[in-house]
């Protein structure tokens, strides 16, 4: 089937093709699919040479190359012709949860992941799905995922495909058939660990981290033999209980920077996304996460740097032992993960070529380090930052502002826990020398929760759950109830010059939590937005060259590759993730179905954006409006429900906005919440932690919010 030739079918036929492919993908069953294509095995040499100028046909590893540049040398689609891009094909995913994956491409075969860690292989040559593998993650553990049941992708090596399942398994599949080869449980299933990140393969090892710092866990990164799944090494990001002994000297050194009983909650540091590799230096680079709990005072008596939280850590690939570390946020107190993408490059700094590693972590500073020695070369704020006035170039340490530690009052601090940059990848073009970063400026009302104690099954942040809770804890604070966050959240695309340490151009968006970026040799930067637009910009100037409306918000980064001799652009579109679950919805669509979109020069121009479902018309339901019931329900909702169904009961368009629930839901509310009636679709059972009276209070709180919505309509 030739779906893209210039002699292509007219609009009608093209549309039919799109519909056919969408329908066929939905019903294909893996075991009965005829073999249509086999990608050549991915060798170690292929992975090392993935950054070469003739490597553009494929996208073999998460960041396209070990340097994680997300730069494609392809230039068939370029600044002169990008406006001719049109639709090649689409694939409906059958999911309404967040889509965050970077597809990999080998010889025209796309491998990508969906929510609940489902893996799909799709042959772009023929337009057929090759296989689908569902690891059957128990939907009742969805609550362990702080930030949606997402998955960011797979790794390819030799004849195998590797991915992490949400429940902590690392699974190797036969890349041709999707049949499992080996599986290891990488986590303690008794703790709230998840895997959402893509594994990387380096030196014959599959390297995988985990998430879980919000709920309470001890982060680590493990390397497994790619052939057998045997464990080779583990890097513990934070120490465990010293009474149990230390795993090695790296952990012992870290323990000297901690105080208190941090191991009760876990300490955190979970490395859930960023991994890069320098095959010449034989160093693995890992970006580590925030403290668990967030509050430094509750976690470590307010004492010590708490290594290796919020750090860029270089590990020897043979041993997993620390070569050097740089801590971006000593004594993390704000959920400032340094798990954001790590990118390797060669930059001329002060006239000297340096092998650097770059990161724009949540804390708002853009770091450039010598990646061999760990020396700090520069650190400049790239967004609104109020927790530190700068980074001392001599010590490499932040210069904290007086309001940064919030033990005595509510403190309004930028960035917020969402960060100035999320997991959405940046890209680096060696041709422009610019880094294209999806950023945002924001703030948050931090307040300590002094009566904190570790509670299994909930977020253990040690901080107030929102502005009203913060003000309740610190009523003397000098700004009034209802003023909200004093700094509005603003989303931007920055073209950052890492040598000059400043912005070259920027795009201001009305939305935040926008998608990851792709840079190409066609002098282009591609990015999707939370409003659902996919855009192309001139990489050197920022001029908008192409803009299509795909409907719902876009998080995932686009990729580009060749099928035959034609360049394609693909992006997964599915709103979700942490900010969406907490209630932010940039497009306003509700439960819109996820889709993989693929574009090509000369493709179809006649396509419709994907829309969500209509919100139902609301009818009033009687409820108990006594203040004591409402306060109890509101507090319980904030603690148990808000992280998935939205702050203040306002949903972000992914999961049910509970104000809109049908009358039947409110009739059987206690069965759903306490008895786990909907556990098969990911709604946890709360019967062990909520009483019938608790659940009744939550129900009454929700009905009050529903009544307020009706009154406002
Ligand atoms: Ca976090």
- Provide DSSP, 199-258: PEEETTEEEE--B-TTT--B-EEEEEETTT--EEEEEESS---GGG--SSHHHHHHHTT-
Beta strands 595-601 and 85-92: pairing type?
antiparallel
**Confidence (pLDDT) at 29:** 33
For ligand 1, the distance from its centroid to the CA atom of residue 361, given in whole angstroms, is: 12
Q: Judge whether residue 27 has pLDDT over 50.
A: no
Please identify, among 566, 601, 636, the residue that sits at the C-terminal boundary of a domain: 601
Q: Are residues 671 and 593 in the same domain?
A: no
Contact (CB, 8 A) for 18 and 604: yes
So what's the pLDDT on residue 450?
79
Q: Phi, psi (5° rounding) for residue 34? A: -65, 150
Q: Is 90 exceeded by the pLDDT of residue 490?
A: no
> Which domain range does residue 699 map to?
627-712
530 part of a folded domain = yes
Tell me the C-alpha distance between 461 and 197, whole Å: 22
Q: Are residues 70 and 138 in the same domain?
A: yes
**50 and 195, same domain (yes or no):** yes
pLDDT of residue 496: 98
Instruction: Report yes or no on 71 lying in a domain.
Output: yes
Ligand 1 midpoint to CA 697 (Å)? 29
Residue 460 domain flag: yes
The rounded Å distance from CA 383 to ligand 1 centre is 19
Q: pLDDT digit string (tens) for 577-605? A: 999 999 999 999 999 999 999 999 999 99
Q: Is the CB of residue 557 less than 8 Å from the CB of residue 542?
A: no
The arithmetic mean of pLDDT across residues 678-690, rounded, is 91
Ligand 1 centroid distance, CA of 112 (Å)? 25
Q: Is the pLDDT confidence value at 22 over 60?
A: no
Give the 3-state secondary structure of residue 576: coil
Q: Is 325 found in the same domain as 231? A: yes
- Two structure tokens written together for 268: 């955190």
Residues in the chain: 713
The answer to the question of residue 110 being in a domain is: yes
pLDDT given for residue 119 in this prediction: 98
Residue 617 falls within a domain, yes or no? no
* pLDDT given at position 406: 86
Average pLDDT on 140-151 reads: 92
* Residue 13 pLDDT > 60: no
pLDDT confidence band for 480 (50 / 70 / 90): very low
Q: Count CB neighbours of 26 within 10 A.
A: 12
Flag whether pLDDT at 177 surpasses 70.
Answer: yes
CB distance 59 to 108 below 8 Å: no
- Same structural domain, 585 and 633: no
Better-predicted residue by pLDDT, 80 or 448 = 80
According to DSSP H, which parts of 265-378 are helical? 296-300
Instruction: Name the 3-class secondary structure at 529.
Output: coil
Domain identity same for 595 and 631: no
Give the tokens for residue 114: 């969906």
541 with 411, same domain? yes
Q: How would residue 127 be classed by pLDDT, with cut points 50, 70 and 90? A: confident
Confidence category of residue 410, pLDDT binned at 50, 70, 90: confident
Is the model's pLDDT at 103 over the cut of 70?
yes
Structurally, the chain folds into a number of domains equal to 2
* Catalytic sites, residue numbers: 335
Segment among 300-309, 382-391, 406-415, 623-632 with least mean pLDDT: 406-415
| CA 214 to ligand 1 centroid distance, Å | 6
Dihedral over alpha carbons 663, 665, 667, 670 (to 10 degrees): -160
DSSP codes of every residue in 485-496: -SS--EEEEEEE
Query: Both 303 and 202 in a single domain?
Result: yes
Separation of CA 442 and ligand 1 centre (Å) = 16
24: CA distance to ligand 1 center in Å? 39
| Final residue belonging to a domain, choices 601, 619, 636 | 601
Residues 588 and 665 in one domain: no
DSSP 623-683: ----HHHHHHHHHHHHHHTHHHH-GGG---SSS--GGG--HHHHHSHHHHHTS-TTGGGT-
In a domain, 296, yes or no: yes
Quick one: DSSP state of residue 196?
-
Strands 71-72 and 517-520: parallel
Examine the domain organization and report whether 595 and 633 are in the same domain. Answer: no
416 to 443, 444, 561, 708: CA distances (angstroms): 5, 5, 36, 28
**402 in a structural domain:** yes
Q: What is the pLDDT of residue 476?
A: 64
Give percent of the chain above pLDDT 70.
92
| Residue 641 forms part of a structural domain | yes
Secondary structure (3-state) at 297: helix
293 preceded by cis ω (within 30°)?
yes
Q: Is residue 10 predicted with pLDDT exceeding 90?
A: no
pLDDT value, residue 14: 36
What's the CA-to-centroid distance between 289 and ligand 1, angstroms? Answer: 7
Cα 311 to ligand 1 centre (Å): 13
- Is the pLDDT assigned to residue 466 strictly greater than 70? no
Say whether pLDDT at 482 is over 70.
no
Nearest in space to 424 (alpha carbons), one of 549, 540, 491, 514: 514
Q: 146 and 293: one domain?
A: yes
At residue 102, the pLDDT reads 98
**Do 510 and 658 lie in a common domain?**
no
Provide the mean pLDDT of the chain.
92
Question: Mean pLDDT, to the nearest integer, of 467-488?
Answer: 60
CA of 451 to the centre of ligand 1 (A): 21
CATH of the domain at 677: 1.10.760.10
pLDDT band at 486 (very low <50, low <70, confident <90, very high): low
Here the tokens at position 56 are: 């553009």
| pLDDT tier for residue 456 given thresholds of 50, 70 and 90 | confident
In the predicted structure, residue 2 carries a pLDDT above the cut 70: no
pTM: 0.93
Q: Which of 555, 586, 601 is the last residue of a domain?
A: 601
């Amino acid at each position: 089937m030739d779906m893209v030739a210039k002699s292509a079918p007219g609009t009608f036929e093209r549309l039919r093709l799109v519909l056919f492919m969408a329908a066929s993908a939905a019903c294909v069953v893996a075991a009965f699919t005829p073999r249509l294509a086999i990608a050549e095995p991915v060798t170690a040499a292929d992975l090392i040479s993935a950054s070469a100028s003739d490597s553009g046909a494929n996208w073999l590893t998460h960041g396209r190359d070990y340097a994680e540049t997300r730069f494609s040398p392809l230039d068939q689609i370029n600044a002169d012709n990008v406006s001719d891009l049109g639709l090649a094909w689409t694939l409906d995913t059958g999911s309404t949860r967040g889509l965050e994956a970077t597809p990999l491409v080998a010889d025209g075969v796309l491998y990508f992941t969906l929510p609940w860690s489902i893996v799909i292989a799709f042959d772009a040559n023929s337009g057929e799905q090759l296989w689908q593998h569902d690891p059957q993650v128990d939907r009742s553990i969805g609550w362990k995922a702080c930030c949606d049941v997402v998955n960011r992708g797979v790794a390819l090596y030799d004849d195998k495909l590797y991915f992490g399942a949400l429940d902590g398994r690392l699974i190797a599949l036969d890349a041709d058939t999707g049949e499992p080869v080996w599986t290891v449980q990488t986590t303690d299933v008794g703790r709230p660990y998840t895997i959402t990140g893509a594994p990387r393969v380096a030196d014959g090892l599959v390297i995988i981290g985990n998430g879980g710092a919000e709920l309470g866990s001890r982060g680590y990164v493990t390397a497994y033999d790619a052939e057998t799944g045997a464990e080779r090494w583990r890097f513990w990001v934070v120490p465990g209980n010293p009474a149990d002994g230390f795993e090695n000297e790296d952990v012992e050194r870290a323990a000297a920077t901690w105080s208190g009983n941090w191991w009760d909650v876990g300490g955190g540091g979970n490395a859930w996304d960023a991994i890069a590799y320098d095959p010449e230096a034989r160093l693995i680079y890992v970006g580590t996460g925030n403290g668990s709990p967030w509050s430094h005072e509750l976690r470590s008596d307010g004492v010590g740097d708490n290594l290796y939280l919020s750090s860029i850590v270089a590990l020897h690939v043979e041993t997993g032992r620390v070569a050097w570390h740089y801590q971006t946020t000593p004594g993390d107190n704000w959920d400032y993960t340094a798990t954001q993408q790590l990118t390797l490059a060669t930059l001329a700094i002060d006239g000297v070529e340096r092998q650097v590693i770059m990161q724009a972590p949540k804390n708002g500073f853009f770091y450039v380090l010598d990646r061999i020695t760990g020396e700090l070369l520069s650190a400049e704020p790239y967004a609104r930052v109020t927790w530190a006035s700068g980074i001392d170039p001599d010590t490499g340490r932040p210069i904290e502002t007086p309001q940064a530690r919030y033990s005595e009052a509510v403190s309004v601090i930028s960035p917020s826990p969402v960060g100035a940059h999320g997991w959405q990848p940046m890209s680096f073009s060696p041709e422009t020398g610019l880094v294209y970063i999806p950023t945002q400026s924001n703030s948050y009302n931090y307040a300590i929760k002094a009566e904190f104690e570790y509670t299994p099954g909930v977020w253990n942040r040690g901080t107030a759950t929102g502005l009203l809770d913060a003000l309740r804890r610190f009523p003397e604070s000098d700004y009034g109830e209802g003023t909200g966050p004093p700094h509005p959240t603003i989303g931007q695309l920055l073209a950052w010059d890492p040598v000059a340490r400043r912005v070259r151009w920027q795009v201001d968006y009305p939305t935040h939590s926008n998608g990851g970026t792709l840079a190409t040799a066609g002098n282009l930067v591609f990015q999707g937005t939370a409003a659902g637009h996919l855009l192309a910009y001139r990489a050197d100037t920022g001029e908008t060259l192409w803009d299509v409306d795909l409907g719902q918000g876009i998080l995932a980064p686009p990729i580009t590759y060749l099928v035959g001799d034609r360049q394609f652009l693909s992006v997964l579109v599915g709103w979700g993730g942490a900010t969406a679950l907490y209630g932010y919805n940039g497009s306003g669509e509700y439960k819109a179905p996820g889709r993989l979109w693929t574009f090509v020069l000369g493709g179809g121009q006649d396509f419709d954006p994907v829309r969500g479902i209509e919100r139902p018309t609301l009818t009033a339901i009687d409820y108990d409006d006594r203040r004591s019931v409402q306060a109890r329900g509101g507090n319980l909702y904030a603690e148990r429900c808000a992280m998935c169904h939205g702050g203040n009961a306002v949903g972000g368009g992914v999961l049910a906005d509970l104000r809109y629930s049908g009358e039947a839901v409110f009739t059987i509310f206690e069965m759903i919440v306490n008895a786990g009636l909907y556990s098969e679709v990911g709604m946890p059972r709360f019967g062990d932690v909520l009483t019938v009276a608790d659940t009744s209070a939550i129900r009454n709180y929700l009905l009050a919010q529903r009544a307020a919505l009706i009154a406002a309509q």
